[in-house]
Structure 1
Amino acid sequence: MVLVHSDLSTAEQIESLQQSRGKEKTPWRLFHLKMACADVIWKLCIQPKAVREDETSLMHEIAVIRPKETAKIGSNKPGFHRMHEVIQHRVKVKQIYGYPSLEKWAKMKPMTKYSVGHTFTRLRLQPQTAHDQQQENTLLRQRYYLLYEEITYAMNAGDIGRVKQCFLPWILIFKGCGKHKYTTHMLRFLHNLHYVYPPKLKRAICMNILCNLMGKPDGFQEVDWWLEHNNFYTKQVYGGQFSNCTKCRILKESVLIQVYKRIWINFENMFMLHKYGYKHLKANMVLTFKKLVKHIEKKRTHEFVRGRTAAYVIPDAMDIGLQKLISAESVAINVDEENIAEKVDGDDGNLDV
């Protein structure tokens, strides 16, 4: 039994080999899953041009905290790291300045005011003059932010049980926004993990899906993230230039990447070069966050304004995905299905690493 950590396209090739050779291998790709989650938020909350027109939209908030990057974020390739920071900054603003203490936060009933509850569908069915479309868009965005934060923190903490629990809402969201391949592969993974694999194999998978090479708290990383890291050094740093940058050279030197890195580190330590470099501190975002808080209060983003309309209504991808999964026309509910007929753009995440 061999555990393979890869992206979605590699996983499909492995499954094709399983069918032809009958040798089972299990692909893992949590980092690419997190990229797909960020891509979903970008597709739902930024990509449609109409969704950027409202003053309470995410794009207007980005213009406050990152005014020089609005064009890049609004483009087709904003990048995963940039979107990851945008989501985390938006959540942190609410965590730091939204409430002074946990007691007051609990009294405010946050699940009904700042996120989508079980009555959200009925809320949208009310007459136009009885509800606030911009606040409803904000509630949906908050739910997507919190789900993304939860799976991110679970991965950083190495809590694989919590990561598996986070799969369920994202399966529905992926199905609702058109990422059918991720939906099918995640369903198959959960089915195999709980009903197919023996207990020892299940434990081996759960204990090796995340790794913490530095041994620091909240320092866990996805294995496919380390693969991307090594690929960067293999292709970009030590891959050669011009005529030396060939496939043969890259394959020949790929096994020596760790040796090259160790030599580099030894030379820096030997000549104390690391003391003459620059290690930039994290950006102080306090003033920027306060500026965003003033913008939120001024535009009444989290307040109910009866009859306020929106230029674009963000779809409830989780509800749409649930309807598709329970309908007779859905093919993703059958976790044993081998051939996936549905093909859509962005199944492997459109955001670059």
Structure 2
Amino acid sequence: MHYDIALHELILAIIVVLILVLLLIISVLSYSFYSYRILHYRHMWKRIIEYKIMETIVGGDGESERDSAFSKHLKEPSFRALFLNVLVDSDRKFSGAAKQAINSLFHQFKLEDEAWRKLRERKAYRVAGGIQELAAMNVEAAIPEIKAKLHDERTTVYQEAQYAMVSFEGYEGLGFLEHFNKPLSDWQQLRLLYSIHQIPEQSDLQVDVWLKSTNDSVVIFTLRLIRKFRLMTYYTAIYDLLDHTATAVRVQAIRTMQAIENSTTVRQFITCFGQQPIEVQLEILKSMKAARSKESEEFLKEQLWNHQEVAIKIAAAEVLVVLGERYYLQEISQQSDTYDQLKQIIKHALQEKKC
């Protein structure tokens, strides 16, 4: 009797498991079918949208039937969202009359309302998307609200607001740097630098104030900005940064000095070399390699012979090769009193030059 009950329970358990497995299979198939339909519709809609954009740029062909079908699709919220995304992506690829045509579509189909709604939502990615869309379509009425987002605590939001302000105002849009106390990522710095095409002669923004910022990432960005536009007047302020507490700032200062070098640069590198950490010393040697100044030869030979770090010895030897001192290096490598490590370093440097 006990055996029959146990067998009955086992059969019920197997049936329950099979039902659950069946339900799971149905769920997976349903989700897969739903995902396929979404992808299918997105692919189809994207082709319709891209055709509409092309038609607007090159001139319409008067197909009213196609226009009515497009208008019908616009009633779908998902279609409008995709239309807005494709417009923003297309705006980055075109300029001139084509860009204006894309902008006209944005206003013609009242997609501005979609972007404004996103700007006022709670989710960070939606707010950032709204900022991006309003900036791409040059909706200047949004500037006050976007400017307020510069102080948002969410990274994606304030970064998109920064980029938008530079898109709207160019160099003047960098005004937020004066009081910015959060990290400015390398990627964000590159985005901002790429968006700035010129620095007005009459500008209220003071680069020297940013160089004195307590935010290291702001100082680094400013040094990159100086490099891009070859702002020679800040050379002395940059040299002063070689005493900065952050090694990353010192490295960028060396790169910037090399980019806007003058007749004193190499001598200044030599003078401060001994007080710098290894990372900065290596950057100085890279700059000397780029400068190709004969003034540094004796200094480089001293580093090759006497410096404690192998990396510095290697870098010094490589610069000497670039300066045409191959014969000197070959000569000392063949001397019997030259220690083996130095011979290997010289051999490495000579081979690097051949490659």
Q: TM-score, normalised by structure 1?
A: 0.22
Q: Could you say which structure has the larger radius of gyration? A: 2
> Structure with the greater relative contact order (CA < 8 A, sep ≥ 6): 1 or 2?
1
The structure with more helix, counted as a fraction of residues: 2
Q: TM-score, normalised by structure 2?
A: 0.22
